[in-house]
Homo-oligomer: A and B are copies of this chain.
């Protein structure tokens, strides 16, 4: 995505430390954000403050776009590691839209794809078993935060509870499933990091839910 370059002259970036919020659910929309460098989780609160991770974001990804056209952000964003964030205020954004229709179309295509992915996730949540949900969460982590080429290590430190918040289940179930997967030699853990031994097996188990291939 080359949006960052297009708006680079107006950049207004800041540092965000691990665990620190970038913007808070329900707060007023000031503009949108891009991640220069870092890892961010986008969350939404449910009943009894149970939180659900609706998206994971990586370098170059956009944040806060759900607030566009609304007064407040429907979701919150929290840095999962020290991150460098670029902020673009509403005025700059609107100017860019009118001056550069192709930029607008590009952003619209991004929305279209996000919508597509999100609706696919609804299917997963309503039809998968707990085991499948956990596997899908791991698969999602693998896709978003590339495995380090050499050792298939998931390059992120993430708690069981956070995996559960992605999968839509409990930390207990995540732990059980990971234990099972270790016994089946599908993955291994080392110092809080997850090592994928058999990504093919993971793919097969959730494969039935994907459209086509």
Q: Which residues of A contact B (CB under 8 A)?
A: 25-26, 44-48, 50, 52, 54-55, 65-70, 74-75, 97-98, 101, 104-105, 107-109, 111-116, 118-123, 125-127, 168-169, 208-209, 211-212
In the complex, the answer to whether B208 meets A44 with C-beta atoms within 8 Å is no
Residues in B whose Cβ lies below 8 Å from that of A26: 211-212
**Quick one: which of B47, B107, B113 contacts A209, CB cutoff 8 A?**
B47
Residues in B whose Cβ lies below 8 Å from that of A104: 97, 101, 104-105, 108
Give the distance in Å from the alpha carbon of A69 to the alpha carbon of B106 in the complex: 9
- Chain B CB count within 10 A is highest, among A45, A98, A104, A168, for A104
Give the distance in Å from the alpha carbon of A75 to the alpha carbon of B123 in the complex: 11
Residues in B whose Cβ lies below 8 Å from that of A113: 69-70
Give the distance in Å from the alpha carbon of A209 to the alpha carbon of B116 in the complex: 23
Counted per complex, copies of this chain come to: 2
In the complex, the answer to whether A65 meets B168 with C-beta atoms within 8 Å is no
Give the distance in Å from the alpha carbon of A74 to the alpha carbon of B168 in the complex: 23
Nearest-CB residue, chain B, relative to A206: B47
**Quick one: which of B68, B121, B122 contacts A109, CB cutoff 8 A?**
B68
**Quick one: which of B69, B111, B119, B208 contacts A74, CB cutoff 8 A?**
B119
**Quick one: which of B52, B70, B111, B116 contacts A108, CB cutoff 8 A?**
B111
Show 18 residue pairs from A and B whose CB-CB distance is below 8 angstroms, ordered by the A residue: A26-B211, A44-B119, A47-B208, A52-B122, A65-B112, A66-B112, A66-B116, A70-B112, A70-B116, A74-B120, A97-B101, A97-B104, A104-B105, A111-B111, A111-B115, A115-B115, A115-B118, A118-B122
**Quick one: which of B98, B115, B125 contacts A101, CB cutoff 8 A?**
B98
In the complex, the answer to whether B52 meets A127 with C-beta atoms within 8 Å is yes
Nearest-CB residue, chain B, relative to A119: B54
Residues in B whose Cβ lies below 8 Å from that of A46: 123, 126-127, 209
**Quick one: which of B48, B67, B126, B209 contacts A208, CB cutoff 8 A?**
B48
**Quick one: which of B54, B68, B97, B108 contacts A122, CB cutoff 8 A?**
B54
Smallest CB–CB gap between A137 and chain B, Å? 11
